[in-house]
Amino acid sequence: MKQEIILCRSLATDLERVLQQQSFDKLFLLTDEATHRCCAPLLGEALLGQVEEVVIPAGDTHKTLDTLASVWQALSCRGATRRSMLINLGGGMVTDLGGFAASTFKRGIGYLNIPTTLLAMVDAAVGGKTGINFNGLKNEIGVFNPAAYVLLDTAFLRTLDRPNLLSGYAEMLKHGLISTVAHWAELLNVEIADTVCVDYDALRAPVRRSVQVKEEIVAQDPLEQGLRKALNLGHTVGHAFESLAMAEHRAVLHGYAVAWGLVCELYLSNRLVGFPVGKMRQTVDFIRERYGTFTFDCNDYETLYELMTHDKKNRAGVIHFTLLREVGEICLDQTADKELIFEMLDFYRENGVG
């Protein structure tokens, strides 16, 4: 099923129009504690008067089976049927978990996504991936099932601090790397020095372009059998960093982990398929200056390697990477031996960021 992406001028008006086109008996709104407080009021009093709100704890540490079960429980106890509809209002944690809840409750009810973070707007809420973390691994359980509509309103970005803006920007940078030199270069010239100085209206165009990159890829490969793996650039290593951080109770923002993963996987791209060292250095410097460093030492290499073996792109226990020969020239299903992966981690620690 193809989802429709709407770049809103008036969220309340656009949402009302979308809901008028849908058929449902009950309407539910899933938020976390933060979006319940900061974002739900932007939907308008008329809508809030007709929805049953389900509120879950905020943060990726709550993207769990227990939280999922609490959403199922709320839907069941409040009389949801197969003709009910769920609106997910929040960041990637809410849209991932809410999408999975909707996809599995009574074998599937309709749902909409209204992403409230930059990361969710350009990545998590678009493309139909849903799921939860499980057994210490990111997004280990889930299904492909796109929302009927995704409503994007950059006004929500005003609720974000700089780290959360940068977290989303890392996914935009990835989209630039897998698309065109012009788009990549444009993204390297945008500065998010301070949220006070951000031109949020000016972000509409690059956000739309970033979403288009993902839409075009997903349309060609909705179930990630081939080309869609391009969207995993930076994620094989990034998810390993994220899982290690989670295990050590020092959780990091997803986009930061992706940015650090890009440093590593651009190094592999240079070593294995000849990605230009100059473009690698430009991108690495951009990331180093804005995202800092994820600290680990050589004693963590085996753990990180083991975490990479759980990546969903792998086959027969062999780690597969998405790499680049050039900006926009994607090389899927690339492999590296353990020695080179450890060399990549050396590069990250010694030369990449710090």
Residues classed as catalytic = 107, 129, 171, 214, 224, 228, 232, 235, 239, 254
Structure tokens belonging to residue 120: 């969710």
Q: Is 119 helix (H, G, I), strand (E, B) or coil?
A: helix
Are the beta carbons of 92 and 58 closer than 8 angstroms?
no
d(CA 37, CA 20): 26
For 89, how many CA atoms within 13 A lie in the half-sphere containing its CB?
31
Residue with tokens 């996914």: 171
Strands 110-115 and 85-90: parallel
d(CA 88, CA 117): 12
d(CA 159, CA 121): 14
Closest CA to 230 of 315, 325, 336: 325
| Sign of the dihedral through C-alpha 273, 309, 230, 327 | negative
d(CA 257, CA 245): 9
Phi–psi pair at 225, nearest 5 degrees: -90, -20
d(CA 105, CA 223): 21
Are the beta carbons of 243 and 137 closer than 8 angstroms?
yes
d(CA 76, CA 82): 11
Are the beta carbons of 132 and 139 closer than 8 angstroms?
yes
